[in-house]
Amino acid sequence: MGVRKDLRRAKRHADLASRSRVELVRDESGTVREARTALLAPTPVSGSTADLPFTNAAEAPDAVVLRRPLNGGWTPVTAAAFAREVTATAKGLMAAGLEPGGRVAVMSRTRYEWTVLDFAVWAAGGQSVPVYATSSAEQVDWIVRDSGARFVIVETPGNAETVATGVTRHPDPPRVWQLDADALAELAALGRDITDEQVAERRAALTPETVATVCYTSGTTGRPKGCVLTHANLHAEAANTVELLHPVFQQVTGQAASTILFLPLAHIMGRTLQIACLMARIELGHCPSIKPDELRPALREFRPTFLVGVPYLFEKIHATGRATAEKMGRAASFDRAHRVGVRFGEAYLNRFLGTGKGPGPGLYAAWALYDLLVYRRIRRELGGRAHYAISGGSPLDRDLNLFFYAAGIIVYEGYGLTETTAAATVVPPLCPRPGTVGLPVPGTAVRIADDGEVLIKGGVVFGSYWNNPAATDAVLTEDWFATGDLGALDQDGYLTITGRKKDILITTGGKNVSPAVLEDRLRGRAPVGQCLVVGDNRPFVAALITLDAEAVAHWLAVRGLPADTPLSDVVRDPRMRADVQKAVDHANQAVSRAESIRAFALVEGEFAEDNGLLTPSLKVRRHAVTAAYAAEIEALYGS
């Protein structure tokens, strides 16, 4: 098992585990209230993120920094070639009228051209404004109007139509290019009279404190707010995570690091990942979808050595594995493999961390059997070479984390927001602690307020919301950012997130309930799709649950039922309700009886972006869901 070998080798590389030294502040009772880590990467006093492609081209022109999917394969892109394409695109933007400090909106799925555009906008002295490819005309209208973007680059004709509809009433609509209509070639032709020296002059004028991007939040409770992030913010995030994590590949695995980016580049996590990869010259590829059926072929072909994803990815891989086993009549075997994996992962990590004896002979034997039958298939799903993954966006179920560990993949969790330039905390290398989101990123401090709110301070914290000083003042106090999330620090400074302040439910019995704990565990179990836990000012906790479309198709096939069986019949089927009850029981294991889900409603349809019930980053819009399903909620309580 590669991961176990890596951990054994790690004993010979104690410096890796000690790279992130944490300073703790305790209160009078001994409870850790603050954790701080020192910088690993020095804070720059000049230059900007825009310099990265050109530094790489000067220092290692022939190094392969990206691979792009062309003609059925992955074509290498050298540092020199990437810098040339960035320069050509920057020239086109300058020729089109982009001024220093001007904003360019990019509405596209994750693809190679997005990365070119990000660095080209910066090289031309501009600021990028990411827009989710799934955004509505109304959302585009708001972001373009609020940011003042004078240029928009879209991916598809459909995106172009959405922008045209959204900006119809703008007095001076932005200029639009389309990637599928060869926008980069058009820009390169437009900028043919701009010299390299003119681009270099624009780039030289940038400083660490120059605004790099206005990145809009998901907008779960209202209009998205534009987070103003500087080149210094981007550097603090990318450089410190590279210094913390990259040595794992260099010293422990012996692999040349590579990854495939499938997170939306409109999300700050994807943006900082591409910066970090270019900074460390880690080969980077792009895939436009996180859907397993679309991502799986790319993983098999690219064969990354590590992945950065969200819990949805790991949940779907696990669910797909079980569905495959069930089709073969081996569902019970997969379930045993899951239980063995959780026990094995727990025992082995305890020994590694010095808190237990490790797996006994019987558990080792069971693990070896299921490694042949199940775990190696999981590794194959991720391309066959990956030993490490980073998960963020929301908590990953602890048992699922341990299952992947047993399958040979250490999943390091992280935590952050757009306002913290992605990760504010991450589990440090070779110090796994499933169930937590790790220690502060080097150069960052985390404090727990008296009411349990997580506060963050450091170079990764944004400076303001665009055009919104009132909202800025509400969350920034003496450089501490109030996240709105609730959490706790353990005795070693590892952070655990327990929920959102604004989402806390208070039952009529006076019990405070964090729905996130239940919802995260529910979503990790098939056939659950999305869910919403309710119970505020109610006698008990209940849940609205949707069914995953793929899980329903599999469920029907296994039982020999027609594929076109109406969903209304499926949600009423006692067998389906029994399967969902198992997922509810699993969720309830994490809480007390007073906090547990006592009733649930299976609802037809889905929570999706299209119907306004999910944000583009897959977060549930709680107020929208409760309004849409008000009758179903009342029925749960017999009203």
Give the separation between CA 261 and CA 252, rounded to whole angstroms.
23
Using only C-alpha atoms, the chain has a radius of gyration, in whole angstroms, of: 24
CA distances from 35 to 62, 425, 445 (A): 42, 10, 6
pLDDT single digits (tens) 391-401 = 987 778 889 99
CB 403 within 8 A of CB 425: no
Three-state DSSP class for residue 371: helix
Cα atoms found within 13 Å of the Cα of residue 278, Cβ hemisphere only: 29
DSSP type of residue 422? E
> Residue 156: what pLDDT?
97
Three-state DSSP class for residue 63: coil
Instruction: Count CB-CB contacts under 10 A for residue 503.
Output: 19
Helix axes 311-327, 515-523, angle to 10 degrees: 40
Give the separation between CA 171 and CA 155, rounded to whole angstroms.
24
Give the separation between CA 62 and CA 322, rounded to whole angstroms.
44
Dihedral angle sign, alpha carbons of residues 323, 369, 333, 527? negative
262-287 exposure pattern, b = at least 16 Cβ within 10 A, e = fewer: bbbbbbbbbbbbbbbbbbbbbbbbbb
pTM summary value: 0.86
> How is 475-516 classified by DSSP, letter by letter?
HEETTEEEEEEEEEE-TTS-EEEEEEGGG-EE-TT--EE-HH
164-179 exposure pattern, b = at least 16 Cβ within 10 A, e = fewer: eebbeeeeeebebbbb
Hey, what are 214's tokens? Answer: 């206005």
* Amino acid residing at 231: H
Dihedral angle sign, alpha carbons of residues 429, 298, 401, 597? positive
CB 340 within 8 A of CB 406: yes
CB 22 within 8 A of CB 35: yes
For 457, the enclosing helix (H) or strand (E) is: strand 453-458
* H-assigned helices in 174-291: 183-190, 196-204, 231-247, 268-280
Hey, what are 616's tokens? Answer: 């583009």
Whats the size of the chain, residue-wise? Answer: 639
Identify the burial level of 601 via C-beta atoms within 10 angstroms of its C-beta, where 0-12 means exposed, 13-18 middle and 19 or more buried: middle
**C-alpha closest to that of 347 among 434, 436, 437:** 434
**C-alpha closest to that of 604 among 566, 558, 550:** 566
Helix axes 549-558, 311-327, angle to 10 degrees: 10
Give the separation between CA 585 and CA 23, rounded to whole angstroms.
39
CB 343 within 8 A of CB 363: yes
Three-state DSSP class for residue 420: helix
Three-state DSSP class for residue 329: coil
CB 524 within 8 A of CB 513: no
DSSP lists the bridge partners of residue 465 as: 227
Helices (H) and strands (E) in the chain, counts: 24, 28
Hey, what are 86's tokens? Answer: 């960035």
**ω into residue 100 within 30 of 0, thus cis?**
no
CB 317 within 8 A of CB 351: no
Parts of the chain with a pLDDT under 50: 1
> Residue 476: what pLDDT?
95
Q: Which domains does the chain show, CATH number per domain?
A: 2-36+238-257+305-498 (2.30.38.10), 49-206 (3.40.50.12780), 504-636 (3.30.300.30)
Give the separation between CA 242 and CA 272, rounded to whole angstroms.
11
